[in-house]
Amino acid sequence: MIEKLVAVVAPVFLCAVLGYAWARSGRRYDADVVTVLATNISLPALVFATLIDTRLDTAALSVMAAAALAATAAVGVVAAAVLAAARIPLRSFLPAMMFPNVGNMGLPLAALGFAADGLALAIVFFTVSVVLHLTVGVAISAGTFSPRALARIPALYAVAGAAIFMGGGVEPPAWLMNTARILGGMMVPLMLITLGVALAGLKVAGFARGLGLAVLRFALGVAAGFGVGHAFGLEGTALAILVLQSAMPVAVMNFLFAQRYGTDPSEVAGLVMLSTLLGFATLPFLIGVLW
**pLDDT, tens digit only, all 291 positions of the chain:** 667 777 777 888 888 889 999 999 999 988 888 878 887 898 889 889 988 887 778 888 899 999 999 999 999 999 999 999 999 999 999 999 999 999 888 988 998 889 889 999 999 999 899 889 888 888 898 777 777 767 777 888 888 898 899 888 889 999 999 999 999 988 888 878 887 888 887 777 778 899 999 999 999 999 999 999 999 999 999 999 999 999 999 988 788 788 778 888 888 888 988 999 899 889 889 998 998
Q: How many Cα atoms sit within 13 Å of 18 on the Cβ side?
A: 12
Question: Using an 8 Å Cβ cutoff, are 154 and 39 in contact?
Answer: yes
Question: Ramachandran region of residue 89, left (φ > 0), alpha (ψ -120 to 50) or beta?
Answer: beta
Kindly state whether residue 21 falls inside one of the protein's structural domains: no
User: CA-to-CA distance for 138 and 144, rounded, in angstroms?
Assistant: 7
User: CA-to-CA distance for 50 and 53, rounded, in angstroms?
Assistant: 5
Provide the greatest CA pair distance for the chain.
56
Kindly state whether residue 4 falls inside one of the protein's structural domains: no
Kindly state whether residue 20 falls inside one of the protein's structural domains: no
Kindly state whether residue 38 falls inside one of the protein's structural domains: yes
Kindly state whether residue 255 falls inside one of the protein's structural domains: yes
Kindly state whether residue 233 falls inside one of the protein's structural domains: yes
The total of structural domains in the chain comes to 1
Question: Using an 8 Å Cβ cutoff, are 148 and 167 in contact?
Answer: no
User: CA-to-CA distance for 20 and 196, rounded, in angstroms?
Assistant: 4
User: CA-to-CA distance for 286 and 284, rounded, in angstroms?
Assistant: 5
How many Cβ atoms from other residues are within 10 Å of residue 21's Cβ? 13
Residues 6+ apart with CB under 8 A from 201: 23
Kindly state whether residue 203 falls inside one of the protein's structural domains: yes
Kindly state whether residue 59 falls inside one of the protein's structural domains: yes
Q: Which domain holds residue 110?
A: 30-285
- The pTM score is 0.85
At 130, which CATH number?
1.20.1530.20
